[in-house]
Amino acid sequence: MAFADDLASRRNLDAAWVRQALGQARLNPTVVRLMQPPTQAFVKNWRVYRSRFIDPV
């Protein structure tokens, strides 16, 4: 695993530990879904957004 060896050398980590940790990685469909952009675009409302973060004068 060239990536594991490169990561270990750059971060001063044990190469065997990095290979073992990466070997345990599994695809998580929930994470993949949450990383995707929203399926439907929505109109952004500046006044609603502003009211959440800026105190009225």
Domain limits, the chain: 2-53
DSSP for the chain, please give it.
Answer: -HHHHHHHHHHT--HHHHHHHHHT----HHHHHHHSPPSS-----HHHHHHHHS---
Distance in angstroms (rounded) separating the CA atoms of residues 50 and 56: 9
Residue 57 vs residue 36, higher pLDDT: 36
Separation CA 4–CA 16 (nearest Å):
9
With tokens 């675009």, the residue in question is 41
The pLDDT assigned to 52 comes to: 81
Q: What is the pLDDT of residues 3-56, one digit of tens each?
A: 999 999 999 999 999 999 999 999 999 999 999 987 777 788 888 888 887 676
Q: Given this model, what pLDDT does residue 28 score?
A: 98
| pLDDT value of residue 14 | 97
pTM above 0.75, yes or no: no
